Amino acid sequence: MRYKKSGKVFAMANQKGGVGKTTTTVNLASALALLGLKVLVIDSDPQGNASSGLGINTQQMEHHLYHCFTNEADAGQAIRQVDKVGNLFILPTHVDLIGIEVELMSAVKRERFLSDLLAPLLDSYEIILIDCPPSLGLLTINALTAADAIIIPLQCEYYALEGLSQLVRTIRLVKNSYNHNLFIEGIVLTMYDRRNRLTHQVAKEVKQHFKTQVYDTVIPRNVRLSECPSHGLPIHQYDKHSTGALSYMNLGKEFIERLKERSHGNA
Ligand SMILES: Nc1ncnc2c1ncn2[C@@H]1O[C@H](COP(=O)(O)OP(=O)(O)OP(=O)(O)O)[C@@H](O)[C@H]1O
Ligand SMILES: [Mg+2]
């Protein structure tokens, strides 16, 4: 499954809350690891849902992302291997990270902290997924500056497109100011309800606008996906036969196919 020597970084971003950013980060990471890639998840949301969803006790960590931002630890000290999943690693977070946006406010190149932090790791991982908080603040700007591309989890509901245009403006801003090669890798439709007319309507509009950027694979609403975080397990460890597990595995395959197509196109 190898397609490139040094790691590619993806920001999982959408400033709208509860749209499936963390669920997609954790379970796409798990799928990619099972497909043979060495994957690192960066939990850049002070809520710490990706950390706890991957089995980290966020109250009992010696080092975490906040320490890396404040130079109290380097990333290597904070990164942990995820139990029971070979190939999958996490740089966990802590609620302290909530203060970092204010602490960094007057720092020089404050948008580049995460990018600088990740630079020495790029040769050690094939894929790095950054779980962003539900805002367009400094943590998300850092993720967009550090990333090669963005993956947008999108729930098909009222106002989904409005939120998306705000996100696209921010992406343009970061692209113009800090990261000229940034692009949207893909849009994942999450919590997809085939029986709901609104879902179809919003999906159609998103596809009209973003065309092939929308992944063919959609993630249905699946109760097993909402249960697995409380067990600290990705879906493939919790219930590998569930529709949630199969959907994220299909997304992983489609994701890799797209990367391969692009790397052949650039060859
Ligand atoms: N496909 C799904 N089926 C069922 N429940 C889901 C699915 N995807 C996500 N959920 C549930 O919806 C809630 C929100 O999902 P998640 O935490 O992934 O969103 P988020 O965008 O990361 O939220 P936040 O903006 O707060 O970080 C969670 O309780 C999660 O378990
Ligand atoms: Mg989240």
| For the CA of 16, the nearest atom of ligand 1 | 25
pLDDT at 198: 92
Q: Is the pLDDT confidence value at 264 over 80? A: no
Q: DSSP string spanning 34-92? A: HTT--EEEEE--TT-HHHHHTT--TTS-SS-HHHHHTTSS-HHHH-EEPTT-TTEEEE-
Pocket flag, ligand 1, residue 222 (CB < 6 Å): yes
What is the model's pTM?
Answer: 0.96
| For the CA of 228, the nearest atom of ligand 1 | 31
Pocket flag, ligand 1, residue 36 (CB < 6 Å): no
Range of lowest pLDDT (14-23, 114-123, 152-161):
152-161
Please state the rounded mean pLDDT for residues 173-202: 95
pLDDT band for 35, please (50, 70, 90 cuts): very high
Residue whose CA is at the smallest distance from ligand 1 atom 29 = 226
**For the purposes of burial, counting CB atoms within 10 Å of the CB of 74, is it exposed (0-12), middle (13-18) or buried (19 or more)?**
middle
Pocket flag, ligand 1, residue 151 (CB < 6 Å): no
Q: Is the pLDDT confidence value at 265 over 80? A: no
Please say whether the beta carbons of 147 and 130 come within 8 A: yes
pLDDT at 163: 87
Pocket flag, ligand 1, residue 230 (CB < 6 Å): no
Q: Is the pLDDT confidence value at 206 over 70? A: yes
Pocket flag, ligand 1, residue 193 (CB < 6 Å): no
| For the CA of 223, the nearest atom of ligand 1 | 4
Q: Is the pLDDT confidence value at 68 over 70? A: yes
pLDDT tens, position by position, 207-246: 999 999 999 999 999 999 999 999 999 999 999 999 999 9
Q: How many CB atoms lie within 10 A of CB 225?
A: 27
Residue to substitute in 12, 15, 19, 23 for testing ligand 1 pocket (most ligand atoms within 8 angstroms of CB) = 23
- Ligand 2 centre to CA of 167 (Å) is 16
Please state the rounded mean pLDDT for residues 145-163: 93
Q: Is the pLDDT confidence value at 255 over 60? A: yes
pLDDT at 1: 42
pLDDT at 267: 55
pLDDT at 2: 43
Ligand nearest to the CA of 218: 1
pLDDT at 253: 98
Q: Is the pLDDT confidence value at 4 over 70? A: no
Q: Is 222 helix (H, G, I), strand (E, B) or coil?
A: coil
Q: In what order do the strands lie in the sheet with 88-91?
A: 80-81, 88-91, 39-43, 127-131, 8-12, 149-155, 183-190
Q: Which residues contact 149 (CB under 8 A, 6 or more apart)?
A: 8, 9, 10, 11, 182, 183, 184, 185
Pocket flag, ligand 1, residue 43 (CB < 6 Å): no
Query: Which CATH superfamily, name and number, covers 8-266?
Result: P-loop containing nucleotide triphosphate hydrolases (3.40.50.300)
Ligand nearest to the CA of 242: 1
pLDDT tens, position by position, 76-89: 999 999 988 889 99
* Whole-number average pLDDT of the chain: 94
Q: Is the pLDDT confidence value at 137 over 70? A: yes
pLDDT at 3: 45
| For the CA of 24, the nearest atom of ligand 1 | 18
CA–CA separation, 160 and 35 (whole Å): 31
Pocket flag, ligand 1, residue 54 (CB < 6 Å): no
pLDDT at 5: 52
Q: Is the pLDDT confidence value at 194 over 50? A: yes
| All structural domains of the chain with their residue ranges | 8-266
